[in-house]
Each structure stands twice: as C-alpha cells, then as structure tokens.
Amino acid sequence: MKLFTVLTLFPEMFAPVRESILKRAQQAGKLKINVVNFRDYALSKHKNVDDIPYGGGAGMVLKPEPLYAAVRALPESAGRRSVILLTPQGRVFDQALAAELSQYDELVFICGHYEGYDERVRSLADEEISVGDFVVTGGELPAMIMIDAVSRLWPGVLGDSLSVVEESHSGELLEYPHYTRPPEFAGLQVPEVLLSGHHANIARWRRKEAWRRTFLRRPEIIEGILERLLLSGDDYLLLEELAREMPTLAELRERWQFARPPLKARKNRRAGKAEQEDGEGMNSGRDLCGADPRSGV
Ligand SMILES: C[S@@+](CC[C@H](N)C(=O)[O-])C[C@H]1O[C@@H](n2cnc3c(N)ncnc32)[C@H](O)[C@@H]1O
C-alpha cells in the first residue's frame, strides 16, 4: 500500500482526493491518505502557527516549530519515504517526476500558506517541488495534484494499466484523439478507420495522429525527440507521410533524414515510388528506439 501523509492547516480541503478513482483505490487498500493538521503541534496557548517576518514586509510566515514537531511525530515509515516541501521555487512537477515519486512507499507533503515558510523549514525536506510557474494561495491544491498523478501510476489504482502506458507524457508523444459512440454527431464523423475493426490500421492511424497532434500543439516535444532519438522504420514512414500533408513539418525533414528507413521503403524509393506502408508490425507507439542519431548508425 502507498501512503500519502499531508501536513496542512486546512484538512477539510482534501475532500476531492476521497472521491472517484482515488476513493475506490483507498477502499481497496491500494493507498492511504493521511491528513494531519500541523496546528495541533503548535506550542503556544493560542496554537499560533505563523508570525510577522523579521525585517518587515507583507504577509505572515509559517513558524518552524509546529512543522518540525509534526514531521518528528510521524510514525516510522514501513518503506522508502520522501518528504516534499511544496513551493513555487521548487523543481517543476511533470510526468517523469510523478513516475520517480511513485517508487516511494510514502510521500509526505508539507503545504505552506500565507507568505510561505520560515527558511529553516526547508531543512525538513528531501525535495522541494512546484506544480508550475505560478503562485497559488497554499500547498493543498498542488499536493492533491501530485497525489492524483502519482497514485494513478501505482499498480491496481487504474483498472486498465495500458491507459497509463499510452497516454500523453508517459511516452514521448501526446495521446491520439479518442472517439466513442455515436459514429456521427453534430455533423462530425468518427474517422472511418476506427470503425473498421482492423487493429493494425487503427494502431497506425493512432500513432500518426499522435505525431500530428504533438507537432501542432507542442512542436518543442517533436524537436526534442528528433534531437535525441533514432526513429524506428514505422515512425520514419509516418513522419514522411505527415510531412507531405504538413509543409511546416516538412521543414524539419532533415532532422529525421539520418534515420535509415526500412528496407522496403528504401527499395520503393530507389524505384521512384512513394513510400507506402500497410501498417503491419505497427505497435501502439512505444517504438522510438534510444540510439543517439549522432552516432552515425
Ligand atoms: C502564496 S504562496 C507563498 C509564495 C512565496 N511567497 C514565494 O514567493 O515563494 C503560499 C504557499 O502556497 C504553496 N504554493 C504556491 N504556489 C505553488 C506552486 N506553484 N507549487 C507548489 N506549491 C505552491 C506553497 O506551499 C507556498 O508556501
């Protein structure tokens, strides 16, 4: 079981992570979310947790003592634990960091509020994390975003673990478009290929649309892929096809020209034929191989 411990002044804010898929995962004993009000660890009679900043200035600063006491009072962890301080000054959270954090048995989140923490609180943390380059009023929403993103990578939390493998940011490309019934709605049709039942063609269409979508929405991801990876034959052919449809993508063509197309395509090329590919052997998209293009392979 994965354990999330949250240190916050606003425990009631955590209702959303007790609903839906995370609720089922908690009921099934896959994970536990333990919310602790660190005001309970304040030393003063009035349970003060903040004070004015030394040197003056706006806002109140969280005192170190209650947070130190709350962290020290945590029960011994059964496995690997990481203490995370939520701050807009931290390492920016993304899918790769979610995967890294999913390796821990327990994550402890320290949620700030007001103007932030007394600087000495930072020494409690193994890692400082930000959910993006913007500032929100407290660490509670960032903690919930991270709990959700990390939980769904934990085996058994999502019904179908393939959903995690295929979705945006888990591989290199954004996910392909989805459709469900009806086949026509408001004059908009579901692409014919998805109704065909032809698995190889569907996989090929999805992979191609994932490339297209990523290029249109996040061109820097495509540039990164072409910088780092040698394309598989399937991807090479898909990019060639897309480049014929999208002149702006064609401008990047020289970036993938180093990749050797599969034999069949080379023969077609020599014979002056356009590259055609029947989709056989196309998998769902985890086929970028990791060789360095500059190695001259
Ligand atoms: C209003 S913010 C304080 C910001 C602080 N004055 C600064 O400039 O770094 C209050 C708390 O919200 C949380 N917070 C705000 N933005 C965040 C972000 N982008 N990522 C993670 N936590 C954030 C942190 O816990 C922070 O201590």
Q: Tell me the whole-structure pTM to 2 decimals.
A: 0.84
| Three-class SS state of 173 | coil
Q: Tell me whether the omega of the peptide bond preceding residue 247 falls within 30 degrees of 0, making it cis.
A: no
Query: Is 117 found in the same domain as 32?
Result: yes
Q: How far is the CA of 73 from the centre of ligand 1 (A)?
A: 24
Query: Is 138 found in the same domain as 221?
Result: no
Q: What is the pLDDT of residues 236-271, one digit of tens each?
A: 899 999 999 999 999 988 887 655 555 665 566 566
| Ligand 1 closest atom vs CA 131 | 20
Domain span at residue 53 reads 2-151
Q: How many CB atoms lie within 10 A of CB 274?
A: 10
Q: How far is the CA of 37 from the centre of ligand 1 (A)?
A: 18
According to the model, what pLDDT value does residue 273 have?
A: 54
CA dist list (Å): 41 to 8, 53, 64: 11, 21, 11
Q: How far is the CA of 25 from the centre of ligand 1 (A)?
A: 29
According to the model, what pLDDT value does residue 155 have?
A: 86
Rounded CA-CA distance 19/14 in Å is: 10
Query: Is 200 found in the same domain as 104?
Result: no
Residue 161 lies in a domain: no
Query: Is 133 found in the same domain as 50?
Result: yes
List the structure tokens of 124.
């409690």
Instruction: Give every CB contact of residue 178 below 8 A, 6+ residues apart in sequence.
Output: none
Ranges of beta strands (E only) in 25-170 are 31-37, 50-51, 61-62, 81-92, 106-110, 127-130
Query: Is 261 found in the same domain as 198?
Result: yes
Task: Tell me which of 49, 61, 86 to substitute to probe ligand 1's pocket, judged by most ligand atoms within 8 Å of the beta carbon.
Answer: 86
Query: Is 117 found in the same domain as 199?
Result: no
Task: Tell me which of 92, 124, 136 to substitute to probe ligand 1's pocket, judged by most ligand atoms within 8 Å of the beta carbon.
Answer: 136
| Three-class SS state of 185 | strand
Query: Is 202 found in the same domain as 113?
Result: no
Query: Is 135 found in the same domain as 37?
Result: yes
According to the model, what pLDDT value does residue 207 have?
A: 95
Q: How far is the CA of 61 from the centre of ligand 1 (A)?
A: 12
% pLDDT > 70, the chain: 83
Contact 64, 118 (CB under 8 A): yes
Query: Is 201 found in the same domain as 142?
Result: no
**Residue 267: phi, psi to the nearest 5?**
-65, -45
Rounded CA-CA distance 111/189 in Å is: 46
List, chain by chain if needed, residues with CB within 6 Å of any ligand 1 atom. Answer: 86-89, 111-113, 115-117, 130-132, 134-139, 142
Q: How far is the CA of 111 from the centre of ligand 1 (A)?
A: 8
Query: Is 197 found in the same domain as 84?
Result: no
Q: How far is the CA of 237 from the centre of ligand 1 (A)?
A: 46
% pLDDT > 90, the chain: 72
Residue 218 lies in a domain: yes
Q: What is the pLDDT of residues 67-123, one digit of tens each?
A: 999 999 999 998 999 999 999 999 999 999 999 999 999 999 999 999 999 999 999
Number of domains in the chain: 2
Q: How far is the CA of 116 from the centre of ligand 1 (A)?
A: 6
Task: Tell me which of 85, 115, 135 to substitute to probe ligand 1's pocket, judged by most ligand atoms within 8 Å of the beta carbon.
Answer: 135
Q: Which amino acid appears at position 145 of this protein?
A: I
Residue 159 lies in a domain: no
Q: Is the dihedral of CA 201, 224, 220, 250 positive or negative?
A: negative
Query: Is 137 found in the same domain as 15?
Result: yes
Residue 158 lies in a domain: no
Query: Is 147 found in the same domain as 7?
Result: yes
Residue 176 lies in a domain: no
